[in-house]
Amino acid sequence: MGLEAEATVRELRAAYTTGKTKSFEWRASQLKATQKILTLHSDQIIQALRSDLKKPEFEAVIHEICVISASCKLALKELHRWMKPQKVKTSLISFPSSATIVSEPLGLVLVISAWNFPFALSLDPVVGAIAAGNAVVLKPSESAPTTSSLLAKLVEKYMDTSAVKVVEGAVAQTTALLHQKWDKIFYTGGSEVGRIVLNCAAKHLTPVVLELGGKCPAVLDSNINLKVAARRIIAGKWGRNNGQACISPDYIITTKHFVSQLVNIMSVELEKFFGKEPLQSKELSGIINTHHFNRLVKLLDDAQVSGKIVCGGERDVSNLKMAPTIILDVSRDSIAMDEEIFGPILPILTVDKIEECFGVINGKEKPLAAYLFTNDKKLEEKFVRNISAGGIIINDTILHFLEPGLPFGGIGESGMGAYHGKFSFDAFSHKKPVLKRGFAIDISTRYPPYTPGKRRFL
Ligand code: NAD
């Protein structure tokens, strides 16, 4: 396995060394090839996502295919501008001079992706790597095997396989890849493996982007349009892979006097979205595998020691389906309030005053996203100032992920580095400063001997 990984790296590095991936034409051709995959094979992609995750077609199109389509479109539109050296003003220190920042590809990069959005989380970083002129190896998640093998097939058919390659496999293959020398590693997944990635990268001083997870809080103040807030939370939690998303609201914080209204309206809206029998709903993704199903059952059983289910709770192990489940009064020591839930269970914590949310959130690791629903400007400002998170949304969930003008990434335990839009291009580029001087003016102050007259300039 190690030999195969070594051979892959040797082959792709040789392709990178020819310089072909650096040209505008190569980058544009590979971005167009990616677009071709999307347009010619959308049905197969939708089917693969259904097979791996029972992902509803609408979610497959919006959250996976459209995301990559938008990234390719933007990169193709902006590529000339992104690649152009950026002029920078110079100071008296180097007078007279001119300066530019040149975006240089890093070389050969490794993208390791996760199973929950197995198509988008694989190709989105690849689009950034190609746009920036790199050769790239993609290792999709083995937990979404149908999507992984489809990606391998389509990349081989449409892309320049001398410089863009998919390596399929599980821990052994990923480990073999991680032991090679890369110019950047872009990893999406859990923080435990994130640490393994960082350790392997350290050996070669390889820079990394780690797109990890965490417990994303949603804080609900009482002065809000409750119905709209409830719908937006439901869309962000269960309308996105049935809670198996890194930026799904992981738990809610609201006040004690407001919680029963909140539970009522969420239950009503949930029934409107997923019907009276959510396990039969075609609009809800399944749980990825038995391991995660059992993990969620254990988490729910533990949460019920202190808390009570106020909505949902149904499950069907034979189909790996689990209903949207709201649980109230869970102990703050429970698994549900300690670990990332990454599934359809949503605990609600109640507090006397909404300002107590700061203590709760800041008592945990920095989340990938934090959501606040309020009409109180002062609370909003305090939230943005005092909550450190990968990203913040006021009065909605998830949407920052889809805004190409915003960097997407974590902080602390939720990750390092960011991508999306131009930030993807930057994540895979070295910003090389180039300063240029002429020979005409040569001020001698900087040259020895450092006479007292020259010291006056200090
Ligand atoms: P996963 O099991 O698919 O693992 C991710 C990748 O790591 C896979 O490609 C897998 O092959 C590799 N891997 C697994 N074990 C390994 C090991 N021991 N050594 C080397 N490589 C190994 O995905 P996961 O970790 O279950 O993903 C869920 C986590 O990912 C959650 O925490 C979630 O929040 C996070 N996530 C983050 C983002 C983001 O954009 N920040 C997106 C999706 C998921």
Evaluate whether 170 touches 197 at the Cβ level (below 8 Å): no
Which atom of ligand 1 lies closest to the CA of 211?
A: 41
pLDDT of residue 362: 98
286-304 mean pLDDT: 97
Answer whether residue 457 shows pLDDT above 80: no
- Our answer to whether residue 246 is catalytic in this structure is yes
- Our answer to whether residue 66 is catalytic in this structure is no
pLDDT of residue 160: 98
Mean pLDDT, the chain, rounded, equals 97
Task: Give the pLDDT band (50/70/90) at residue 1.
Answer: confident
Task: Give the pLDDT band (50/70/90) at residue 458.
Answer: confident
Distance from the CA of 95 to the center of ligand 1, in angstroms? 50
Token duo for residue 447: 């040259």
Distance from the CA of 121 to the center of ligand 1, in angstroms? 11
126 vs 33: CA distance, rounded Å:
12
Task: Give the pLDDT band (50/70/90) at residue 456.
Answer: confident
Task: Give the pLDDT band (50/70/90) at residue 311.
Answer: very high
Distance from the CA of 246 to the center of ligand 1, in angstroms? 10
Which atom of ligand 1 lies closest to the CA of 191?
A: 32
> What ranges make up the beta strands (E) of 158-286?
164-166, 184-188, 208-211, 217-220, 251-255
Evaluate whether 207 touches 108 at the Cβ level (below 8 Å): no
Task: Give the pLDDT band (50/70/90) at residue 420.
Answer: very high
Q: What is the pLDDT of residues 235-272, one digit of tens each?
A: 999 999 999 999 999 999 999 999 999 999 999 999 99
Answer whether residue 227 shows pLDDT above 80: yes
Active-site residue (options: 59, 64, 211, 413)? 211
Which atom of ligand 1 lies closest to the CA of 414?
A: 41
Which atom of ligand 1 lies closest to the CA of 144?
A: 3
pLDDT of residue 76: 98
Closest CA to 337 of 302, 312, 389: 302
Distance from the CA of 5 to the center of ligand 1, in angstroms? 20
Q: What is the pLDDT of residues 163-197, one digit of tens each?
A: 999 999 999 999 999 999 999 999 999 999 999 99
Residues with C-beta less than 6 Å from any ligand 1 atom? 112-116, 121, 139, 141-143, 170-171, 174-175, 188-190, 193, 196, 211-213, 246, 340, 342, 368, 410, 415
Share of the chain above pLDDT 90, in %: 97
160 vs 181: CA distance, rounded Å:
21
- Dump the DSSP string for 308-352: EEEE---EEGGGTEE--EEEES--TTSGGGTS---SSEEEEEEES
438-443 mean pLDDT: 92
Q: What is the pLDDT of residues 45-64, one digit of tens each?
A: 999 999 999 999 999 999 99
Share of the chain above pLDDT 70, in %: 100
Answer whether residue 118 shows pLDDT above 80: yes
Task: Give the pLDDT band (50/70/90) at residue 158.
Answer: very high
Instruction: Identify the residue whose C-alpha is closest to ligand 1 atom 30.
Output: 189
List the Cα angle 147/190/396 in 5-degree steps.
Answer: 85
188, 242, 340, 401: residue to mutate for ligand 1 pocket, most atoms within 8 A of CB: 188
Q: In this structure, is the dihedral angle defined by the CA atoms of residues 211, 402, 64 and 240, taken in order, positive or negative?
A: positive
